[in-house]
Amino acid sequence: MNTPSLLILAGDGIGQEVMAEVKRIIDWFGEKRDITFDVSEDPVGGAAYDAHGTPLHDDTMAKAQEVDAVLLGAVGGPKYDDLDFSVKPERGLLRLRKEMDLFANLRPAQCFDALADFSSLKKDVVAGLDIMIVRELTSGSYFGEPRGIFEEDGQRVGINTQRYTEAEIDRVARSAFELARRRNNKVCSMDKANVMESGILWREVVTAVHQADYADVKLSHMYADNGAMQLVRDPKQFDVILTDNLFGDILSDCAAMLTGSLGMLPSASLGAPMENGHPKAMYEPVHGSAPDIMGQGKANPCACILSLAMALRYSFDQGEEADRLERAVESVLANGVRTGDLMQADGGTPVSTSEMGDAILEQLETSL
């Protein structure tokens, strides 16, 4: 049996620091659970620009197409703000998503019991929250043509095109319905069908897919602006939220903050099945590169570690080990262990990035 392959792209800023803790956990699974990976590493984003003059080298792109999963840290930073748009660090991330055709972005928003007081919302509103946002990731206004900044009637005009095909909507809708069947069997699709033709098509196609193949799943529709309001009014009314690229970007960040910290939230970007039956996949924390705390040991590695748990579940058929890792993180939080983003006036044990890794490894040992 071939050893599954994993490409690590730590990237920029705190990406390097949080990924260091993930690599320790990968080593633990190899030593204690006999779960091993063929791990390779490459630069991406600003680190790749520094090394190669491009945010994603062609060799790295080719490798990403071949491995079983990609695990990414973060990209970007003020050092690269003045670069041409075509070579900014974020272009490397977008290229990975587009060329790997990672069309379904899964962003869980789960509020651990120990962190229910960390949300800006009342505890009873967020306690026990567990929702999943499925965001279309490779089309819409971030990729549609025409796009650019043009001269028109003596002034500059910025253009981005919101564009979706039936097939693009169909496949991400199926991802959401399949996921709902493994959860609470409920999907809310969010669009702007009241003012956008692309929204009308979105709603029509999602409805058709539902009627044809997923009538057992409860489907509702909501305008995306109302969806944002409902997320902060009564988030536990939702299970799976299905939406497009632009609205998904906004709504998932809104949902993320319901849980108290971006440092806790993983994500998975999934594509079409490969020969082994698993989807092409890239896993990454929701947070950015946080250059203001880079190198200070303040970064929370939990989101990146939980992204590894998602990889274990969706790419490597290791659901029980994914549960083990998630329980270890939950136990650490329940014990009051806190990186800086999780500290409150009522106390807790302050730890560095590596000390949080130590605590999670200790809980993994306890789980044996």
| Active-site annotation, residues | 142, 192, 225, 249, 253
- Distance set, CA 239 to CA 81, 131, 170, 271 (Å): 38, 5, 20, 22
CA–CA dist 158, 82 (Å, integer): 19
CA–CA dist 200, 171 (Å, integer): 17
**H-run or E-run covering 362:** helix 353-366
269 close to 284: Cβ distance less than 8 angstroms: yes
Phi-psi region of 34 (alpha: psi -120 to 50; beta: other; left: phi over 0): left
Cβ within 8 Å of residue 182, ≥6 positions away: none
CA–CA dist 45, 268 (Å, integer): 19
Query: Which of these, 337, 250, 355, lies nearest to 20 by C-alpha position?
Result: 355
- Distance set, CA 298 to CA 225, 328, 351 (Å): 34, 20, 8
Token pair in block for residue 351: 């730890």
Query: Which of these, 327, 352, 355, lies nearest to 341 by C-alpha position?
Result: 352
**H-run or E-run covering 166:** helix 166-181
CA–CA dist 164, 70 (Å, integer): 26
